[in-house]
Structures are given as C-alpha cells and as structure tokens.
Structure 1
C-alpha cells in the first residue's frame, strides 16, 4: 500500500534530541527553541516568533492577543480545519463563515466586505494547500475597518505572495499575526508543534508573557528583571526542547525538502494536465499572485459519486487517497449557529476534493504509478 502520508526523517533528529537531553534543559526555550525561532525571523522576515505545542495553540494565543471577547465576530473560511474556528470560539467569538473561491478552496476574498459588521474584530485567511489568499485585498479591508488579520499559514511554510506593487512576501509575514503547523502531515514536522508569528510590534511583549503561562519569566531569565510573577492570563503554550530539537533537524533541510516536494507536485500536475477534462475533473489552480510550496496535490471531481468511486477503487489498487474538510458551517457542532447563508463552493470542495499521496520519500516513479492508476480508474468509471 502506498500511504497517504509518511513523515520524513532527516537523520539528525535523534542526535539533536540527545544533545538537548545532555544539556539538562528539557522544558523549552533553550538552544533549539531559539535556533528554530531565529530561523523563521531571519528567513521569513518576521518580527518575532514563538514556538508552540501546536498550530492550534498559536491560534489560541492570537485570539488572546487581539482581545477577543464574547460577542466579537471573526471571519474565517468554512472550508478549513476546525482549529481555525475553535481558537476564537473558546474566547466567546461569533464565527462568520466565508465561502470558498470558485477556482480554489481558499476563502473568496470578494465576499468579505459584505460580512463585516460593527462587531467584526478579525479576518483569518487560511492559505489552503500553501496557496496565498489575496492579501492586498484582505489587508486593505482590514485597514479600512480597523480589523486585525491573522494568517492561518498551517500549510504554508516557504510559500510566497506577490503584492500589487510587485514585492514578494513570505506567507505569515503579512498579517498582524500568523500561525504555522509542524504536524506530521506538514512539509516540516516535529510530530506535533506550531509557531506564532508576530508582525505587529504592539503584540511582542505580551505574547511572550502569555506563552510563559501569564508570567514575565522569560524577561527574568534574560536578566531584565530581578524576579518574576503572574502578570497576565496565559497557558502552557511552550513546547519542550526535545520537540524543538526534532524541528531544528527538519528546518536545516528546508531547501532540500521543498525542492523535492515541488518536484513531486509538478510531476503530478504534468501527468494530469489536459487528461481529465472530458471526465469533468479539475486540477489545482494557483492565482498569479501566489506560489506553490508543494504541500499537497489535489483533484476536484465532477460530483460526490465520482469522488467516492475514485477513492474506493484507488484504495483497492493499493494507494491511499483521501477527501478533505467537511464544511464547518454544516458541522454537527455549529450548523444551528450558522446564519443560514448558502456557501455553495465550500460545500462543493467538501463533496468533491481528492488528496493524493504526498510525502518527501515518494518517488517520481510512484507518482507516475499513482497518476496512471487514477487515470485508468477515471476511464473505467466513464465507460
């Protein structure tokens, strides 16, 4: 069976973990935490970064930092993982869902203005599949209505956005805050893990306090104060040095990993382009302002019946492909809270999207095998 995902190991993870153990500093915010954070700040032009135990935790920190309170409204896409919504629901926010684009699962930026009310506090664009949302449009809306923008860049490490002025920005460096994931399904992994990116100076000091359980402990260890105490709300968002050591082994190889993943993506795309048109299956669209970071390769089936048939038959052929998110506005938890608006394109992607196997060790020969197997199944279905 060709799996859907297989975590990549560079070979240095255990050595760095052993070094962390030998250092006697295991609880976090040590050598490897600082190395990982500095990597993001320097390579991706981010003012301040903090490693977290998950992207979910980073989103929860962001919700605290922007002061989400009961009754505030936060606009997010319906087609996203539940963590994007949960972080704000936990602080009492009302979630207002945006539909997907017609050509891509990401949020339809053209619909956002109509969703803004006097209670709206933030927009949370999700860079689905590592493909940028139209950040010029979103940041202009945010500025006009005095809103915060939190980029959910869980899938978007080493992906970029080109602004209308022609400047190229790393995703996660544009919004007031941003979050990344290092879950085992992501390009760069520590098993579980995340990172909060802070691009607005006003959040830097408080973020570190929230990160350290509401204390000014980090300032104490830097010698900036002579004692530390409880000064704000917070939680145990800081990961261990063992997690950070594993992550550092991955970050050192980001160029190699990204090169291979983009190569896999391009091979899939070459294998399918122009060969699925008659079946009604669509290949991914990447807007002109966005770049591809090789996070995933997906197809969009003609309908749910065709999608389910392909998934069943390809699994029988020894290949594990999967569908992806179910629209959050129709979820068991939230559907009664939704305002009743139809979100047809979020539902379309929920019913039709197919994610193909994608991981660092996937060979191009395996990509060709998967591609041909799927093309044969589609032909069989059509006849």
Structure 2
C-alpha cells in the first residue's frame, strides 16, 4: 500500500549504536546497551526494576512464572486483547476469566471485576488499550482487598499516564512492548517491570535461564549455578542498541504522534458529531500516548466496506483483536457469559495509519478518504 498502516523507522543513532555493539564484541544479552536501556526506563518511569526481554509476550510469561500458578488458579483479564495476554497464564495451567470491555472504551469494565473474583483468583491483568489507562485506583484497591497480584499489560502504553503516574509503574508487575508497531521500537523486544520488591531477585534468575549468573558477575555469589526454572528471555545487544537510540528520541517521537492523533481527532469530529462514526474516548484520569487512532463503525459490514474503500485508494487500515472468549481455542473453556461490549469492539473498530514518518499530506489523504466514505455510505 502507498500509505501503510505502520512503517518502522530510524529516529536517531540506531545504526551507529549497532555498529558500536559489534565493535565492542558483545552481542549477547545483558551488556552495556541493555543496562543503559534498563536504567533509562527505571529512572524515567519510576519502575522498581526493569529487565529487557525478547518481547512483551516473554515479559508476561516471566510474570506468570513469578506467580507460581497452579492448575485451576484464575486470572482476570479483558477478552478484547491479544492472545499473548492470555497465553502467558494458560501455559502455567491457569483458567482465564474474561472481563467485558467498558461501553465507553475497549479497556476492561472495572465495575464488573469484583463480582468475578473467587477464592481461586490470583491476579488481575489490566490491558491499557491504545495507551489509555484503565482505572488503576479501583483495580489496586480490589487487589489489596483480595490479596491479588496486578500485572499491567502496558504493551501499548509507554509514555502514558494515570492521574500523573506512568503506566507500568502502578501494578506489582508490568509488561511493555517495543515491537515495530509500537511508539518506540526495536523490531522485536519488550520489558518486564518489577515494582514489588518480593519478585525482584527471582525475576532476574528466571531472566537468566534459571541461574544466578547476573549475581555471580556482580560478585554477589561465589558460584554460577542453576537455582530455579527459567528461560532465555534476554534480547541481544543489537536489539538494545536500536532501542536506546529510540529512547533518546522519545520526546520528538511522542510530539509527532500526538500531533498526528490530534489532527485525526479534530478533522473527524464533525462525522462523530453527526453520529456517523465513533471516535476514541479518553477518561479524565488518563493521559494517552497517541499509540492508536481508531474509529468505531456501526457494524462489521460497514467496517469492512470502509477498509475496502481505503484500500482502493492505496491506504491500509486494519481492524484489531478478535475476542478471546469467542476464539476457537478458548470458547469451550469460557463460562458462557456474553461480553457484548468486547464483541462490539471486535466487530466495529478500525485503526487508521499512524506512524512517525507519516506525512501531513498522507494523513490528509486518509482523512479525506474516510470523510468521502461516510458522505456516501448512508
């Protein structure tokens, strides 16, 4: 497509840093670039401990391991999310209890949470869809009341805030993504944030394949041994080098994306006011990061027609998650509750192109194409 949905980009010194990593002769994980990225993210967002991972999926899998889940333990999460959110816990034998989305936003409807908590519930996994915060005060209050662990799926939420607090710094654990579709990219890559000290030491062991290798190289233990379960969660120094260059340009990247998001919102507001299309709703407590700009069509048929209308003009727009409670893999394990709001977003949401190098002229083409569709579609 002439105007793709997303396009990976260079923001600054990515290639220079990759060359530096090669020249230094350290390409495997947990070298200088990895440690620099982790320190940057800990300091900027007030994270207790940050561990770079190969993906947000890997970060979620580490979080699930830290919980020592047993078969039959329950984890609450939205149905309108990516498979990784659920897979991490299913791999440990957990039962997923899906929460419907809010009528106002694809995030989980926090008002439903307490009614779904049982003696088997171990964790709540809020997903900050499009970088827009869930109601974290309400979630953390429930977690305290019922002794639950909160794992923020902040894959889309770098540089987003809840009442001034960075997302990913509020829950006991959090997962971020640096996939090429995110605001800050490394091709593939992620981060586990450990904000509860009781998980910090073990998280590093899991991260280092179940060994105390990191502590050994810091001189904290006399031997380098296998001490727990774990896996190869570390990204290479090449990934970390690319990521560091992006993090250094974070203010410029974010300013550009916010400008693009606001341009879409202002230009398409008349369509929303006329009842032709739905636009994103941002709660008063949330400061979002302009990760996604989405529209809500009347139904799946209108959405498909819009996608085809844009494709005919060489513009790629895409829908998003298919609800997990209706998925071929998990439908038979779901408890049968209808989740109408999640289903609505599944059927009606469409995402418009939004990426760092999208030009104003290209964005105007997208706006005019969307406007022309709704001018003639009904």
Instruction: Report the counterpart of residue 227 of structure 1 in structure 2.
Output: 223
CA distance in 2 between partners of 1:41 and 1:76 (Å): 26
Instruction: Report the counterpart of residue 33 of structure 2 in structure 1.
Output: 32
143-152 or 369-378, larger mean C-alpha shift:
369-378
Say which of 246, 250, 254 aligns to 2:250. Answer: 254
CA distance in 2 between partners of 1:50 and 1:292 (Å): 24
Instruction: Report the counterpart of residue 269 of structure 1 in structure 2.
Output: 265
Say which of 215, 218, 226 aligns to 2:214. Answer: 218
Question: Could you list the runs of 5+ residues in structure 1 that have no partner in the other structure?
Answer: 163-167
Question: Could you list the runs of 5+ residues in structure 2 that have no partner in the other structure?
Answer: none
Post-superposition Cα deviations, 1:84-131, rounded to whole Å, max 9, x if no partner, equal 000000000000000000010111000001110000000000000000
Instruction: Report the counterpart of residue 190 of structure 1 in structure 2.
Output: 186
Q: Is the 8 A contact 2:12 2:249 kept in 1?
A: no
Q: Is the 8 A contact 1:279 1:378 kept in 2?
A: no
CA distance in 1 between partners of 2:59 and 2:12 (Å): 28
Q: Is the 8 A contact 1:152 1:178 kept in 2?
A: yes
CA distance in 1 between partners of 2:264 and 2:104 (Å): 19
CA distance in 2 between partners of 1:279 and 1:365 (Å): 26
Q: Is the 8 A contact 1:198 1:204 kept in 2?
A: yes
Instruction: Report the counterpart of residue 122 of structure 2 in structure 1.
Output: 121
Instruction: Report the counterpart of residue 357 of structure 1 in structure 2.
Output: 353
CA distance in 1 between partners of 2:137 and 2:20 (Å): 44
TM-score, normalised via structure 1 length: 0.97
Instruction: Report the counterpart of residue 145 of structure 1 in structure 2.
Output: 146
Instruction: Report the counterpart of residue 178 of structure 1 in structure 2.
Output: 174
1:204-353 matches, within 5 Å, as 204-353=200-349
CA distance in 1 between partners of 2:60 and 2:127 (Å): 12
**How much does 1:11 deviate?**
3.9
Q: Provide the aligned length of Structure 1 versus Structure 2.
A: 377
**How much does 1:279 deviate?**
4.7
**How much does 1:328 deviate?**
0.4
CA distance in 1 between partners of 2:317 and 2:358 (Å): 14
**How much does 1:379 deviate?**
1.0
**How much does 1:280 deviate?**
3.5
**How much does 1:13 deviate?**
1.2
**How much does 1:274 deviate?**
2.5
CA distance in 2 between partners of 1:11 and 1:125 (Å): 33
**How much does 1:172 deviate?**
0.1
CA distance in 1 between partners of 2:118 and 2:292 (Å): 35
- 2:89 match: secondary structure: helix
Post-superposition Cα deviations, 1:255-287, rounded to whole Å, max 9, x if no partner, equal 100010011000000001132343531100000
CA distance in 2 between partners of 1:316 and 1:277 (Å): 26
Q: Is the 8 A contact 1:28 1:239 kept in 2?
A: yes
Post-superposition Cα deviations, 1:179-206, rounded to whole Å, max 9, x if no partner, equal 0000000000000000000100001100
TM-score, normalised via structure 2 length: 0.99
Instruction: Report the counterpart of residue 60 of structure 1 in structure 2.
Output: 61
**How much does 1:365 deviate?**
2.3
Aligned-residue Cα RMSD (Å) equals 0.8
Instruction: Report the counterpart of residue 165 of structure 1 in structure 2.
Output: none
CA distance in 2 between partners of 1:339 and 1:277 (Å): 38
Post-superposition Cα deviations, 1:28-51, rounded to whole Å, max 9, x if no partner, equal 111100110001100000010000
CA distance in 1 between partners of 2:41 and 2:104 (Å): 31
Instruction: Report the counterpart of residue 92 of structure 2 in structure 1.
Output: 91
Q: Is the 8 A contact 1:279 1:302 kept in 2?
A: no
